[in-house]
Amino acid sequence: MSENKLPAELISFIKEWKNKQGNLIMVLHKVQEHFGYIPREIAFEVADLLEVPVAKIYGVITFYHLFKLSKPGRNQIAVCMGTACYLKGGEDLILELERQLGVGLNNITADGEFSIEAVRCIGCCGLAPVMTVNGEVFGTLKPARLKTILEQFRGK
């Protein structure tokens, strides 16, 4: 994909951080914030700018759960699988979402509308079970409510 190029503000961010210790993870966060994931060609660009081996960058990306190597769906669904949410039926939410969307966990629907992932505790245990869509939190969920929530985001 040729549309993936580091924009000027990211380049200046990287240059600003270049001489700071422990910069790589901070830079990767910024890159992912912009692209939604870390495109391969960008990883190479970052390697050039920071003067570190690409292998080191991939070592870090693959170690940490948060960094993504492929583009997520237009709407990102994250179901909390912290202990409280698990006990209160978080897994049932995932099963129902998989049924509704026809794709499994960590996948994107064919039309690119939704991607589903399970995440660690997001700290809203009082509202368990919880999921977020594009960061918006939906709490005390029941599988039956999911359809309406999905409709709220589809095509918008």
Q: Which positions touch other proteins (CB under 8 A)?
A: 21-26, 28-29, 59-60, 63-67, 81-84, 86-88, 92, 95-96, 99, 119-128, 136-137, 139, 143-144
Least CB distance to other proteins at residue 135 (A): 8
Q: Which is nearer to other proteins, 43 or 119 (CB)?
A: 119
| Residue 120 CB, nearest approach to other proteins (Å) | 6
Cβ nearer to other proteins, comparing 65 with 156: 65
For 27, 50, 53, the CA distances from 59, given in Å and listed in that order, are 14, 15, 10
| Nearest to other proteins of 73, 129 (CB atom) | 129
DSSP, residue by residue, 29-93:
HHHHHHHSS--HHHHHHHHHHHT--HHHHHHHHHHSTT--SSPPPSEEEEEE-SHHHHHTTHHHH
